[in-house]
Amino acid sequence: MSKLTLVICFCLLLAAVIYATSDASENDNEVELLARLKRGARGGRRRNAGRRHSGRPRGEGEDDEEDTAGRGGRRRPWRRDRQGRRGHGQAPGRGNRQGRRGHGHRQGQAHARWGQPITSFASLPDRVQRLITSLVGAQNSFITNFHKEVGLPATDVVYSPFSIHQALTMTFMGARHQTAFQMKQALSLRGLGRRTRFAAKKLNQLLNNPGNATLKTANSIYLQPELDILQEFTDALGLFYQANISSFDWGHPAGPEGPINEWVSAQTNNLIPTIINQGTITRLTAMVLVNAIYFKARWQKPFTPEMTSEQLFRKTPNEQVPVQMMEVEADFKVGAVPGHAARLLELPYEDGRFSMLIILPDDEAGLTTIEDALTTDILASTLDTIIAAKLKVFLPRFKLETSLSVTQALQTMGMTRPFSAGLADFTGITSSSDAYISDVLHKAVVEVNEEGSEAAAATAVIIEVRSFAGMQPPSPVFRCDHPFLFFIRDNVSKLNLFVGKFSGGT
């Protein structure tokens, strides 16, 4: 064998060792935590074996691979800060330097950022691609059911299924038995189970590389200082969801809701100044889990402001309202929605990473039929088959805001036990058997104009305890002058960040 061959073989071997080492180091923290969680789970099962009711069904969520958040884990220590308030996991002598507004954030590398962003979906290992694809599919399945409860009855609406889903999957980590089973069913997590948190971490890393757009998503947890919380739960929140963890600040001028609303406002570029009204948090509120998302991007082919004019929008066959109608003529992808009398239009944002997808029925009365038959194929598969065409697009300039409790919608979708005091089982969060979800609040806003789109949303899961143009032929026209659905979508992961319906505004 020649020296050159030996050198080449040595270089290839060295490259393989370096790649394997870097891949292993990326997962060191996960492996260490999972080992600790599994030890806690085994210990918890031994300690609780004698206390389980013989007829109590075991939730399917506990049987999944990597179901490691046990009931017998260590409790998170609480120490008082310099102001006398309790802080979460603070070392002695290190008080809350920021005073009331700092409210005891845990710091650390995993909590400061999402980690290294993923620059390419194709570069991910096959198992990671499958995890992300499964989570996106679960969210699309969730949309098909959730939209029937929230979107279909509304005239105009916008919401972020990503935000709602992520806040609830954080909560799902601490659910047990039938509570876990119902949450898994409602969130369409049957194919993922406890691996949802791994998929969420990788998906968030993928979203952390938004190209020319601005996309921020963050999680934060606020706790009652007296809550006996499992350390494994807070560790998992930090590792998989990069959640900041703080205690309620009862001394804040705006009450304990003040720091939560300030955090949401900062994360959403002030588009959502409040998510929780003052007086919502009481001494029985154990925890509030919050997700926030913010998106802003310019159109790849902007609308010409001088072409915007007042035109009529046909809300119903018998009602028309004036809107500011934007106009642009360029090459766009457009196609039919299979099985429906409707067309699908893609309006890409700058650099093509994200797009707005518009489903426009052929007539103003056809949107209800599409919404009622909304499927994952419409939300995902058919979007990849649209073809390019020269098109003149008319789209209203609009701004939508939605604020609602989604509790009733989730209960209708089968999530009843998590909201039932005395029946809910969140012993993966706290040793108390009294914890239950009292409400799930959601706010979203979207503004669409000639330059692009800006959107934000926040979700709060509140957990309580019971105690405690030329000579060419004219281009085809896509005129959005009657009610339509729209989605803001990540073209890499196929994730639908925002879903909305415009019916003329208020």
pLDDT, tens only, 246-260: 999 999 999 999 999
Q: Is the domain of 221 the same as that of 274?
A: yes
pLDDT of residue 317: 86
**In angstroms, rounded to a whole number, what is the distance separating the alpha carbons of residues 338 and 455?**
29
- Looking at the structure, tell me whether residues 251 and 212 fall in a common domain: yes
Q: How far apart are CA 204 and CA 16, in angstroms?
A: 27
Contacts of 184 (CB under 8 A, 6+ apart): 59, 60, 61, 172, 190, 193
Assigned token pair, 156: 């105009």
Tally of domains within the chain? 2
Higher pLDDT among residues 194 and 82, named by residue: 194
User: Do 138 and 231 belong to one domain?
Assistant: yes
User: What type of residue is 442?
Assistant: H
Q: Is residue 73 part of a domain?
A: no
* 242 CA to centre of own chain: 13
Residue 410 domain-assigned (yes or no): yes
Quick one: 191 and 291 in the same domain?
yes
Mean pLDDT of 9-28: 52
Range of the structural domain that residue 333 is part of: 305-398+471-502
Determine what percent of the chain is predicted with pLDDT higher than 90.
56
What are residue 244's phi and psi, to 5 degrees?
A: -75, 140
323 in Cβ contact with 313 (< 8 Å) = yes
In the block, tokens 């009529």 appear at: 312
DSSP assigned state of 423: T
Q: What is the 3-state secondary structure (H, E, C) of 169-199?
A: HHHHCCCCHHHHHHHHHHCCCCCCHHHHHHH
State whether 411 and 454 are in the same domain: yes
- Please report the pLDDT score of residue 43 as a whole number: 46
Q: Is 472 exposed, middle or buried (0-12, 13-18, 19+ CB in 10 A)?
A: exposed
Confidence of residue 383 (pLDDT cuts 50, 70, 90): low
Q: Is residue 61 assigned to a domain?
A: no
- The pLDDT tens digits for 233-290 are 999 999 999 999 999 999 999 999 999 999 999 999 999 999 999 999 998 999 999 9
In a domain, 286, yes or no: yes
Residues 431 and 410 in one domain: yes
Is the same domain home to 186 and 218?
Answer: yes
Cα–Cα distance between 7 and 210 in angstroms, integer? Answer: 40
- What distance in Å separates the CA atoms of residue 332 and residue 389, rounded to the nearest whole number? 5
115 falls within a domain: yes
Q: Is the pLDDT of residue 17 over 90?
A: no
- Choice among 107-111, 393-397, 496-500 with the minimum mean pLDDT: 107-111
pLDDT for position 6 = 63
Average pLDDT on 337-346 reads 89
Please, which pLDDT band fits residue 205 given cuts at 50, 70 and 90?
very high
- Predicted confidence band at 468 (pLDDT cuts at 50, 70, 90)? low
pLDDT at 107: 34
| Residue closest to 241 by CA, chosen among 352, 338, 139, 114 | 114
Phi and psi of 405, rounded to 5°?
-90, 130
Question: Among 35-39, 65-69, 468-472, where is mean pLDDT lowest?
Answer: 65-69
**177-186 and 161-172 are packed helices; what angle lies between their axes, rounded to 10 degrees?**
160
- For residues 448 and 386, state if they share a domain: no
The CA–CA distances, whole Å, from 430 to 134, 441, 459, 464 equal: 29, 22, 22, 11
Confidence of residue 400 (pLDDT cuts 50, 70, 90): very high
Residue 83's pLDDT is: 34
pLDDT of residue 33: 56
* Res 5: pLDDT: 65
Q: Is the pLDDT of residue 52 over 80?
A: no
Q: Looking at the domain assignment, is residue 492 inside a domain?
A: yes
Co-location of 421 and 387 in the same domain: no
Classify residue 8 as exposed, middle or buried by CB count within 10 Å of its CB (0-12, 13-18, 19+): exposed
Q: Is the pLDDT of residue 9 over 70?
A: no
* Whole-number Å distance between alpha carbons of 371 and 429: 37
| Cα 374 from chain centre | 20
407-416 confidence digits (pLDDT tens): 999 999 999 9
Interatomic CA distance for residues 27 and 44, integer angstroms: 25
Average pLDDT for residues 171-177, to the nearest whole number? 95
**What's 247-305 look like in SS3?**
ECCCCCCCCCHHHHHHHHHHHCCCCCCCCCCCCCCCCCEEEEEEEEEEEEEEECCCCCH
The per-residue pLDDT for 102 is: 36
User: Any idea what the CATH number is for the domain that residue 436 is in?
Assistant: 3.30.497.10
Q: What does the alpha-carbon distance between residue 131 and residue 137 come to, in Å, rounded to a whole number?
A: 10
Res. 105: pLDDT tops 50: no
User: Is the pLDDT at 122 greater than 70, yes or no?
Assistant: yes
Q: Is residue 149 part of a domain?
A: yes
pLDDT of residue 13: 65
pLDDT at 8: 65
**Cα 323 versus chain centre, distance:** 31
Residue 378 has pLDDT above 60, yes or no: yes
Q: Which residues of 481-503 are buried (b: 16+ CB within 10 A; e: fewer)?
A: bbbbbbbbbbbbbbbbbbbbbbb
- Asked, for residue 53, whether it belongs to a domain, the answer is no
Same domain, 310 and 176: no
Average pLDDT value for residue range 76-90: 37
Whether 384 and 407 share a structural domain:
no
| pLDDT number for residue 25 | 43
CA-based diameter of the chain, in Å? 86
Q: Are residues 232 and 268 in the same domain?
A: yes
Residue type, 374: L
Q: Two tokens at 362? A: 């052929």
Q: What is the CATH number of the domain that holds 345?
A: 2.30.39.10
Q: How far apart are CA 324 and CA 74, in angstroms?
A: 58
CA–CA separation, 4 vs 47, rounded Å?
Answer: 62
Calculate the average pLDDT of the chain. 81
Mean predicted confidence (pLDDT) in 334-346 = 89
pTM (predicted TM-score): 0.80
